[in-house]
A and B are shown apart, each in its own frame.
Chain A
């Protein structure tokens, strides 16, 4: 379970998150939605200890962020950040291999190597495995980083806009894999999505954030309607039900 208690975050006097409290139970996909600048990335960064916590508390699986040991957390929680640029010259296989670092600490076992090979196949990276990262297209690189978070093999996975740069086929395949992880292995996946239709189709729960506050929270068919789009995103899109699932007509 991820427990976020009264988290407030300020940067340079501006309040980015104000008194956010959330309980995300174990297992399933939670989609975090909201307009640009709502504080979604900031919230994920706080959970992933990438930013120091200013007030309030966060616990992941009973581990208190800011207190728990770094290597224990690295085996519990993985994050795929929104902006990724790696300066060093790495091949795709090297990069994905780093996902196993929390376990082998620099001395990969044959099991680690096998897991990396499996992830490369799963994310359709076999042909690119020996290519340098900087020679890849945006979507190919994004897949490599997703594969790296995947091999970290943690109970909790935080993904900040993982569908960036991905085509519709790859996007759907990725979401299917995440569903599979959530259902068969009871993984907890928190995912920032901008496309409400993907959120409605694949998430068990949608949390909407606006101006640093939680403004809607619940299963997709209860949360997604014309009102949500108007209140949260300030746009007049129609939502209709297809096969009992809300679909935004853009």
Chain B
């Protein structure tokens, strides 16, 4: 396990080095500062989303569901439409970035907690019912969003569309610092309960017998997941299948039942996918397609594959 983790870490360092230096021209200190900030955002978002997905899959007891698939992204778009509709695009655009982020984080946290509770309650141990509840809620959110799309002025709606895709450039340093503090706190909390998380996959009966009733951990985990997903979504926008792609790779590369291995592996793989992918797209292939589109495409395929395999 440790060899594999070290290998992943080496790969990530290579990716970061390539990202910072490849094709850089002109003033080095400027280039490094500019790219360094973007790199930090990529790493933070990657780590937050991958950890959120790992622990979400641990408490739901399956490896297909992710917070995003459970309707979180649709909820985010709905909230943005509501904001634009109630404030008007001009006000929305002039909102200070920090203010908008704060509003987003608070609303997303609250709404997603309710959402996850609904889905867990509906599903209990039944995977298909959980997925269905998530899908139905997503459709509901989307149709409400499209209602607002009609009542909002088309020009104003362009503002909503602009925030519907993840974007990693042009972040403000202040925002990044706020995000680091919030997500960092949540991730520190996750690391502290990593041994307790190991017990939960044994199922409710055995984990209760070992002194870890799943109910208590479920609440804590849901709150932490909400914070992580809300912060990274408020920072860069929605990335639906990214978490799934990363956790699937993690279970493949580091097949360990222990979160002390899974969590670092997931963070490293998330960094490699985002930073390596961004380097390849921007600097090597010179493509203008945003990375998020490619990640979503591959992640979507992984989701379909896992879903079809579980149905067999």
Residues of A within 8 A of B257 (CB): 88-90, 94
Query: What sequence of 0s and 1s flags, for each residue 181-206 of chain B, a beta carbon within 8 Å of any chain A beta carbon?
Result: 00000000000001110110111111
Q: Is B209 an interface residue (CB 8 A)?
A: yes
Q: Which of A48-79 contact B (CB under 8 A)?
A: 48-50, 70-71, 73-75, 77-79
Residue contacts A-B, CB under 8 angstroms, 29 given? A48-B208, A48-B209, A49-B208, A50-B208, A70-B211, A70-B213, A71-B211, A74-B209, A77-B209, A81-B206, A84-B205, A84-B206, A85-B203, A86-B202, A87-B61, A87-B62, A87-B203, A89-B257, A90-B257, A98-B199, A98-B210, A101-B195, A101-B212, A102-B211, A105-B196, A106-B194, A106-B198, A152-B209, A152-B210
Determine the distance from Cα of A74 to Cα of B213 in the docked complex, in whole angstroms. 11
B210 touches A79 (CB 8 A): no
Determine the distance from Cα of A74 to Cα of B211 in the docked complex, in whole angstroms. 5
Known A88-B201, A88-B202, A89-B257; contact A78-B195, beta-carbon cutoff 8 A: no
Residues of A within 8 A of B195 (CB): 101, 105-107
Q: Which of B43-78 contact A (CB under 8 A)?
A: 61-62
| Residue from A75, A77, A85, A101 having most chain B Cβ neighbours under 10 A | A101
Q: Binding site of B, secondary structure by majority: helix, strand, loop or mixed?
A: helix
Residues of B within 8 A of A48 (CB): 208-209
CB proximity of A119 to chain B, nearest CB, Å: 15
* Beyond A87-B62, A90-B257, 20 extra complex contacts between A and B, CB < 8 Å: A50-B205, A50-B208, A70-B211, A71-B211, A74-B209, A74-B210, A74-B211, A77-B209, A79-B205, A79-B209, A85-B203, A86-B202, A87-B61, A89-B257, A98-B210, A101-B199, A102-B210, A106-B195, A148-B206, A152-B210
Q: Is B255 an interface residue (CB 8 A)?
A: yes
CB proximity of A154 to chain B, nearest CB, Å: 10
Query: What sequence of 0s and 1s flags, for each residue 206-235 of chain B, a beta carbon within 8 Å of any chain A beta carbon?
Result: 101111110000000000000000000000
Determine the distance from Cα of A93 to Cα of B256 in the docked complex, in whole angstroms. 13
CB proximity of A64 to chain B, nearest CB, Å: 16
Residues of B within 8 A of A90 (CB): 257
| Residue from B205, B210, B213, B255 having most chain A Cβ neighbours under 10 A | B210
Residue of B nearest to A149 (CB): B209
B211 touches A86 (CB 8 A): no
Determine the distance from Cα of A50 to Cα of B208 in the docked complex, in whole angstroms. 7
Residues of B within 8 A of A148 (CB): 206
Determine the distance from Cα of A24 to Cα of B206 in the docked complex, in whole angstroms. 23
Determine the distance from Cα of A164 to Cα of B169 in the docked complex, in whole angstroms. 61
Determine the distance from Cα of A75 to Cα of B209 in the docked complex, in whole angstroms. 9
The 8 A-B residue pairs with the shortest CB-CB distance, nearest first, are: A106-B195, A74-B211, A88-B201, A71-B211, A70-B211, A101-B210, A81-B205, A102-B211
Q: How large is the interface on B (under 10, 10 to 19, 20 to 34, 35 or more residues)?
A: 20 to 34
How many residues on chain A are close to B (CB under 8 Å)?
29
CB proximity of B169 to chain A, nearest CB, Å: 39
Residues of B within 8 A of A70 (CB): 208, 211-213
Residues of A within 8 A of B194 (CB): 106
Q: Which of B256-290 contact A (CB under 8 A)?
A: 257
Determine the distance from Cα of A78 to Cα of B209 in the docked complex, in whole angstroms. 6
CB proximity of B60 to chain A, nearest CB, Å: 11
Q: Which of A103-143 contact B (CB under 8 A)?
A: 105-107
B205 touches A98 (CB 8 A): no
Residues of A within 8 A of B209 (CB): 48, 50, 74, 77-79, 152
Known A88-B257, A89-B257; contact A98-B211, beta-carbon cutoff 8 A: no
Residue of A nearest to B199 (CB): A101
Determine the distance from Cα of A64 to Cα of B255 in the docked complex, in whole angstroms. 40
Residues of A within 8 A of B196 (CB): 105-106
Determine the distance from Cα of A84 to Cα of B92 in the docked complex, in whole angstroms. 54
Query: What sequence of 0s and 1s flags, for each residue 204-234 of chain A, a beta carbon within 8 Å of any chain B beta carbon?
Result: 0000000000000000000000000000000
CB proximity of B30 to chain A, nearest CB, Å: 46
Residue of B nearest to A105 (CB): B195
Determine the distance from Cα of A105 to Cα of B212 in the docked complex, in whole angstroms. 10
Residues of B within 8 A of A84 (CB): 205-206
Residue of A nearest to B211 (CB): A74
Residue of A nearest to B200 (CB): A88
CB proximity of A188 to chain B, nearest CB, Å: 16
Residues of A within 8 A of B201 (CB): 86-88
Determine the distance from Cα of A162 to Cα of B155 in the docked complex, in whole angstroms. 69
Residues of A within 8 A of B198 (CB): 106
Known A70-B213, A73-B211, A106-B194; contact A86-B206, beta-carbon cutoff 8 A: yes
Determine the distance from Cα of A73 to Cα of B211 in the docked complex, in whole angstroms. 7
Residue of A nearest to B62 (CB): A87
Determine the distance from Cα of A48 to Cα of B196 in the docked complex, in whole angstroms. 20
